[in-house]
Amino acid sequence: MILDNFVRYQPDNQLRLAKRSPPIQEDTVIVMDASGSIGSCEFEQGKIAMSQMMKMCKVKAKKAGLSYDCRYAGVSFSNSATLDFNFSPINQASKKIRTVTYPGWGTNTHAGLEEAEKVIRAVLRDRKDARKMVFLVTDGQSNNKQKTIASAKKLKQIWNLKIFVVAVGNYINGIDEMAKVASYPPHRYVFRVEKLSKLKYIFELALQKMIHPGVWPTLKPPKSLCP
């Protein structure tokens, strides 16, 4: 699902057609829930997962014989939102996200989405052709459902962004809210994972599938790294 929708990966038998395509150009704002319910250990695992996700653009382009210009910005939110780093190329963004700090506290998701809008709005004129996305990682209902849905609606309708939501946890309070935040249809834009450490594993499997298509993955599910 992640390969199909977010990464838009094409297997080897489609690479001939892909090589006729223009360079891959993407701007993605990663919006990470840094509230108290996430926990510092899982937050660290989430940062590693996001770093893994960034590599997919490079691998996808290399497999298709295309050039790429993929950039990532990082926003975290709890009681308020913080722009942790502005749009940066893959290698820089991958390092920067590892330095993001974990504050804990509340779940003001709307603040994170509003910060993402500011970042996207600043580059709209310069990169009109870039595919623009928000990748939201959160584990539950926001403190203000109405504001969160309204902020997401603005991103989708006015700025024409695609919003992907990673819903973390087995029993997620507010999954209906996340479905409304994500782009439509929800089954293509909402991904559910038990833990952020599992998301890291999913991205590792996806990378292995991209690099070695047709080969059975050798990675094993990770043992729980967090209490």
Contact criterion met (CB below 8 Å) for 199 and 168: yes
Query: Under DSSP, is residue 97 helix (H, G, I), strand (E, B) or coil?
Result: helix
Kindly report, residue by residue over 43-71, the tens digit of the pLDDT. 999 999 999 999 888 888 887 788 889 99
Question: Residue range 74-103: average pLDDT?
Answer: 97
pLDDT at 37 over 50: yes
Residue 216 has what pLDDT? 60
Q: How far apart are CA 49 and CA 55, in angstroms?
A: 10
pTM: 0.88
- Confidence band (pLDDT; 50, 70, 90) for 20? low
Q: How far apart are CA 90 and CA 70, in angstroms?
A: 7
* Distances from the Cα of 125 to the Cα of 130, 166, 169, 208, angstroms: 10, 29, 38, 36
Residue 206 has what pLDDT? 77
Q: How far apart are CA 171 and CA 182, in angstroms?
A: 18
DSSP conformational letter for 19: T
More confident position, 133 or 124: 133
pLDDT at 18 over 80: no
More confident position, 168 or 172: 168
Kindly report, residue by residue over 195-207, the tens digit of the pLDDT. 898 888 888 887 7
Tokens 């990082």, residue?
74
Architecture in CATH of 23-211: 3-Layer(aba) Sandwich (3.40)
Q: For 143-167, b where at least 16 C-beta lie within 10 A, e where not — what string?
A: ebbebbbebbeebbeeeebbbbbbb
Q: Assess whether the previous peptide bond of 185 is cis (omega < 30° from 0).
A: yes
Q: Of 69-73, 100-104, 127-131, which range is least confident? A: 127-131
Tokens encoding 105 = 């506290």
Residue 129 has what pLDDT? 85
Residue 96 has what pLDDT? 98
Q: What is the mean pLDDT of the chain?
A: 86
